[in-house]
Structure 1
Amino acid sequence: MHRGLKNLYLIFIFFALFAQSSFSDIIKVDGKTQKVGVTKFSELFIDDQSHFSYEDVSENTFGDNFKSSNSTAVSSKTPRETIWLRFNIVNSSNTTFSGKLEIPIVWLNKVEVYLRTPSKDANRTFDTLKLSDIKEVNARSFFIPLEMSALQSSTIYIKAQGVNKMAFAPKLYSLEKAESRTIYIAMLNGALIGILLVIFLYNLSNYLTLKDKNYLFYLYYLVGLLFLVGTYYGYNIQLLWDSSYEFNENIYYPIVAFNFLTALLLSRNFLKVESQSAKIDKYLLILAGLSVLLGIFGLIFGSCNSSAYATLIFTLVNFIFLVSISAISIKQNISGSGYFLLAWLFLSVGNLVLIGLVLGFIKYSDLVYDIYAVLVVLNILMISFAMVERIRDEESQCEFKVQKEHEVASKLNISKKELRELNEKLQRKLARQEKELETKSKESQMLSNKDEVTKLYNKSKLEEILTNELHRAKRYDYEFSVIVANIDGMKEINDTHGYEVGNSVMKEMGELFIRHIRYLDTVGRWSDNEYLIICPQTGGKHAFTAAEHLQSYVERNKFFFIGKATASFGVTDCQPDDTLQELLKRAYEALAKAKEGGKNRVEIL
């Protein structure tokens, strides 16, 4: 009997409390409450000038300003206006209700929540608790703890302000369901970040391995997309911006502009726009420049209607352009362009939905809000598929070329004799070509210091060094010597083995001389089969000894193609009145004497 009177008393207070309100329904909660969209149970008041406080709107005389929302979500009409929601809630169970009020952070800058309950004090009619002082922020939502005693009834006021236009759809959960909702949000954000990071690291590895610019531009695009999605879903607030919602709104448009820029540059490189169509490439570069200007505009003016509408228009133009060049690339049979077309179609739908939410054209719902993540994942998967298709096509082309070469070789079915004859013809042709090339390259060789075959100094450089040594000898009265080395039987080597083998012998011989002369000596190729060695500060006898050592090294050396080879050496030292011609004449006379004496020997004059 006593309990029944108590319940009757509470019901009387409840109806007395809300008699002046025009609520069409009351939210009843208990321990089994799963998910309640409070907007459709609420009354709405939009404060265009953000003038009124809670004390103002909670007055009984203010009640007529609230109108039924009749919607699952509400949106602001202009930036920075204030939305007030109020709704009645009653704990219909005989136990304490513990739950959470979720307010998704869909471009909100400031949220205040007040709980108004009947006062137990006879001198006060109502008690008010500012719930937002104990709010919990979890990435993309405010979660505000709410606790009500058994059979308690209350009115909740929500005040929301946005940097830009905002979408607004609070929801009420029991504590258990709120935890499930928190886990879902964490899993969605974690999965999205994880997919983006995995694809980023995979393509970073591909770029470091293949050095393909397509992967580099894709990495830039993924970085922009990571920040864009982070701004949209709120994890940038937790991880980067330190809960600065206003900065999160203001940085959104520069991030969108960077995303446009990287998408254009990626498409330009992957679809080969520059080489395929100079006119389209010109328009693409203009759009890239406009992307930079859009980012600067958004950074300067922040989140405002102008930024939002400029971004909407640019999004339409940008994605129409990207879809168009992808379709053109399909006609041009550019590998991977079909996947690119799908990628930009997915992302264009996602971005249009996103901007539609920002501008209030699309009403907020969890499904609409979360579908953007699916479209982003589809976008990056399509681009990744395009990269894989490009690699497979290139591999297929290489395999096709190899297969064709094998088919050609099998069809020829040339015998050994025919192959030898063909080889001899090719060698003779190569020999003629080498002579022609040598004739044509002599002029260019004179301009350089190095011989193309031996990589030693050429005749022009050796003459320069000899001239300097002669001047020095006459001025400072010091001695130096020269050695002329000639490979014995070079003509026979060329005739027998070919000029390529002869060049190989010349190169090996030069390398042998380099290894066994002093560091201050100079060796170079003087003619087709002759070397000149200049020995500063060296008399004839010492130069003769050095030449004998070289002759011995040559005789003992085993050359790669021909095995053994010998060389003859002519040595002379510089006389006080020598000219360059006289010095070289004596060296050649000494060389001739060595040849006449049986080759493979050293003579001095």
Structure 2
Amino acid sequence: MIPKKHRQLLFPLFVMVFLLPFVYHAPAIGTVHENASTDTHDLGMYYEILRDSTNSITIEDLIEGTYNSSFTPSTEKYLSFLHTDDTIWLKLNADDLITDHEQMHWLEYNDKIEFLTVYAVNEDGSYESYESGLFNLQNQPFPYPSLLFPIDGPEVKELYLQLNGQLPLTIFTKLYSNNSFIENVLSYKFYSGTFYGFLLALALYNLFLFFSFRERSYLYYTLYMFSFMLYQATMNSFDVQLFGHIASPWLLTKTLGFSCNLMIVAMILFGKEFLEIKHHLPRSNRVLNIAIGLAFLSTIALFAGVGQYFTDLFITTMALFVLVFLWISGLRLLLKGHKSARFYLLGWSFLLFSMMIQALVMLGFMPLSLAVFEEIPAYSAMFEALILSFALADKITLIMKDNRRTQAELNETLENKVLERTEQLKKIQVELEHLANTDRLTKIPNRMLLDHVMESEFKRSQIEGIPLSIILIDLDYFKNVNDTFGHQVGDSVLVETAKLFQASVRDSDTIGRWGGEEFLVICPSTTLEDALRLAEKIRTTLADHPFEEVGHKTASFGVASQISSDTLRSLISRSDKALYAAKENGRNRVEFIKIGQGEETLQSESDPLLRK
């Protein structure tokens, strides 16, 4: 009996065993079967090449022989001109390729190109032309991923291919006899069906596991599999076959870049979730988030008409960067002891190898080969998909083990958890007390906390015989601010004023919002003279400060210092009277009431006491 925790391994293991013979014996998708007719030619080495930078040469010029000396023989099996504004002419001698002129032949161009015209030139100099490419798909003899051109007639002497467009010009061409072409189509359908069916089966199986385990890694794996299938399908021009008759040619030129960006986003989401990069590698997580944003921006640029060369280069570089970055992230986590990264790293290595080869070819650093776009991606994708499926199963097993271990630890340390919860409740209580004692708008102490601090400091002053002073502040003409600019601006002025006051007082002082536009500063161990100097400092700081919308604002200050006969109420009353006097005497001033021989005497900032 197989343990339940290993059952999710069964399906990918079964698929691998079942399909291994097909993988081992299968040719590349889109290539002819080994047992097919030998009347099939890869045309690369047969071409003579002419690059027309003027884009003015016509087929008539070539038939007349004007440019015969300008053609150069090809030395490569697969030609690549990448992004070029030149018109590329390729010339073929039909007698070198066709032995049975009575039989129909098919010329296949196995890549996307915007404009492709094939000229079949007869011995008498007449010719037939076949226009195709993404902008002429209506001329295709039947829906097929490749562009097809029928070559029929014993008089055909030469073939000319005229290539134009903004897409990279990569030349994968074959010439088939009619029988070998039929064999190739059958082989193509069988092996492409096997390839995509294999990936689809794994994707659907892991989607089922997502609904069973509710583990997002399975969902992102499924998304990645579908995006990879879409990317490979557009690479193999299945979008041309399926939607070429209804989709605009312009859209078909963008599908490969779009599917590549979609695959980049999906592989990032899967890698982040599977490796838990956000938790283990937060800096790497930020880099990957930026990469997702760049993928979206490059998609917008792709459809906004930014140059094809630039977008292709950027997307290819992005794909290569993300692959390498995710591989390195997996390696870092493996070296840190995260076992779940082992299968991921192995599976990712297959894809990294495949995509690096493709990227280096597309960037022009390696020679073009059909295997780069057919065999290597097919085999790499199949092995990578299987290994990543094993990786997911392995991760679930590790998660289950961790859960059991965590449960055991919870049972053993219940008391610690209770203590931890108690500490959390205490912290919450402290936070609630802070909220209760903090003014909601200005974030400084409110009236409730000020009353408590003032009562405490007043008692301490009486017991220890140390001085205590308070400063009552009221913003001048603040109602005009609300009436003129609105309450939102008034609130912002209060907030900014509170920050200025906080920066102006000492660490030992307590400043809070007394109510409305009034503020109170409690100054322990502070004489009247020092309190007056502090009030004057606050007054000038406020008067000199420019507010964004209302300009300069001022405030009136009432200062009082505790005497032996004071009560808390009398102390506050005296500062309130001083504040009222400051308002009456013109505002933007500091006033205090001097106590002498049982009388209260009003003093202002012009008093010599302030000038000490």
- Tell me whether 1:58 sits opposite 2:63 in the alignment: yes
Kindly provide the amino acid, as one letter, of the partner of residue 45 in structure 1: L
Whether the 8 Å CA contact 2:63–2:125 is kept in 1: the answer is no
Q: Per the alignment, do residues 55 and 324 of structure 1 end up closer, same or farther by CA in structure 2, a change over 3 Å counting?
A: same
Deviation, structure 1 residue 198: 1.4
- Tell me whether 1:221 sits opposite 2:238 in the alignment: no
Kindly provide the amino acid, as one letter, of the partner of residue 397 in structure 2: R
Q: Per the alignment, do residues 365 and 63 of structure 1 end up closer, same or farther by CA in structure 2, a change over 3 Å counting?
A: same
**Aligned-partner Cα distance in 2 for 1:93–1:71:** 23
Kindly provide the amino acid, as one letter, of the partner of residue 126 in structure 1: G
**Aligned-partner Cα distance in 2 for 1:375–1:170:** 24
Kindly provide the amino acid, as one letter, of the partner of residue 160 in structure 2: Y
- Aligned partner of 2:121 in structure 1 is 116
Whether the 8 Å CA contact 2:89–2:160 is kept in 1: the answer is yes
Secondary structure at the counterpart of residue 164 of structure 1:
coil
**Aligned-partner Cα distance in 1 for 2:310–2:231:** 19
Q: Per the alignment, do residues 278 and 365 of structure 1 end up closer, same or farther by CA in structure 2, a change over 3 Å counting?
A: closer
Among residues 263, 287, 304, which one is paired with 2:291 in the alignment?
A: 287
Q: Per the alignment, do residues 200 and 240 of structure 1 end up closer, same or farther by CA in structure 2, a change over 3 Å counting?
A: farther
- Tell me whether 1:376 sits opposite 2:375 in the alignment: no
- Aligned partner of 1:38 in structure 2 is 43
**Aligned-partner Cα distance in 1 for 2:100–2:296:** 61
Matches within 5 A, 1:78-477: 78-90=83-95, 96-105=102-111, 107-118=112-123, 125-132=124-131, 135-136=140-141, 139-149=144-154, 152=155, 154-242=157-245, 244=248, 246-301=250-305, 304-370=308-374, 371-396=376-401
Aligned identity (percent) is 19
Secondary structure at the counterpart of residue 126 of structure 1:
coil
**Aligned-partner Cα distance in 2 for 1:49–1:36:** 31
Q: Per the alignment, do residues 398 and 280 of structure 1 end up closer, same or farther by CA in structure 2, a change over 3 Å counting?
A: closer
TM-score (norm 2): 0.55
Q: Per the alignment, do residues 302 and 141 of structure 1 end up closer, same or farther by CA in structure 2, a change over 3 Å counting?
A: farther
Kindly provide the amino acid, as one letter, of the partner of residue 263 in structure 2: N
Q: Per the alignment, do residues 364 and 223 of structure 1 end up closer, same or farther by CA in structure 2, a change over 3 Å counting?
A: same
Whether the 8 Å CA contact 1:237–1:245 is kept in 2: the answer is no
Q: Per the alignment, do residues 240 and 279 of structure 1 end up closer, same or farther by CA in structure 2, a change over 3 Å counting?
A: same
Q: Per the alignment, do residues 239 and 39 of structure 1 end up closer, same or farther by CA in structure 2, a change over 3 Å counting?
A: same
- Aligned partner of 1:601 in structure 2 is none
List per-residue Cα deviations over 1:238-288 (Å, max 9, x = no partner): 224546554233232232222212211211111111222323322222222
List per-residue Cα deviations over 1:572-604 (Å, max 9, x = no partner): xxxxxxxxxxxxxxxxxxxxxxxxxxxxxxxxx
Deviation, structure 1 residue 92: 7.2
Q: Per the alignment, do residues 47 and 217 of structure 1 end up closer, same or farther by CA in structure 2, a change over 3 Å counting?
A: same
List per-residue Cα deviations over 1:363-411 (Å, max 9, x = no partner): 4433222122222222322221111111233345567899999xx9xxx
Q: Per the alignment, do residues 198 and 50 of structure 1 end up closer, same or farther by CA in structure 2, a change over 3 Å counting?
A: farther
**Aligned-partner Cα distance in 2 for 1:128–1:155:** 9
Q: Tell me, which stretches of 5 or more residues in structure 2 are unaligned?
A: 1-35, 133-138, 413-417, 426-612
Q: Per the alignment, do residues 197 and 80 of structure 1 end up closer, same or farther by CA in structure 2, a change over 3 Å counting?
A: farther
List per-residue Cα deviations over 1:116-151 (Å, max 9, x = no partner): 112xxxxxx3221224576445543223222233xx
- Tell me whether 1:75 sits opposite 2:80 in the alignment: yes
Deviation, structure 1 residue 45: 0.9
Whether the 8 Å CA contact 1:42–1:69 is kept in 2: the answer is yes
Whether the 8 Å CA contact 2:172–2:370 is kept in 1: the answer is no
**Aligned-partner Cα distance in 1 for 2:339–2:142:** 46
Deviation, structure 1 residue 318: 1.4
**Aligned-partner Cα distance in 1 for 2:320–2:298:** 14
Q: Per the alignment, do residues 398 and 356 of structure 1 end up closer, same or farther by CA in structure 2, a change over 3 Å counting?
A: closer
**Aligned-partner Cα distance in 1 for 2:301–2:309:** 12
Deviation, structure 1 residue 187: 2.7
Kindly provide the amino acid, as one letter, of the partner of residue 116 in structure 1: V
- Aligned partner of 2:32 in structure 1 is none
Q: Following TM superposition, where does structure 1 have runs of at least 4 consecutive aligned residues deviating by more than 6 angstroms?
A: 398-405
Kindly provide the amino acid, as one letter, of the partner of residue 128 in structure 2: L
TM-score (norm 1): 0.56
Higher relative contact order, structure no. (Cα contacts within 8 Å, ≥ 6 residues apart): 2
**Aligned-partner Cα distance in 2 for 1:94–1:248:** 36
Q: Per the alignment, do residues 92 and 53 of structure 1 end up closer, same or farther by CA in structure 2, a change over 3 Å counting?
A: closer
Pairs aligned (count): 373
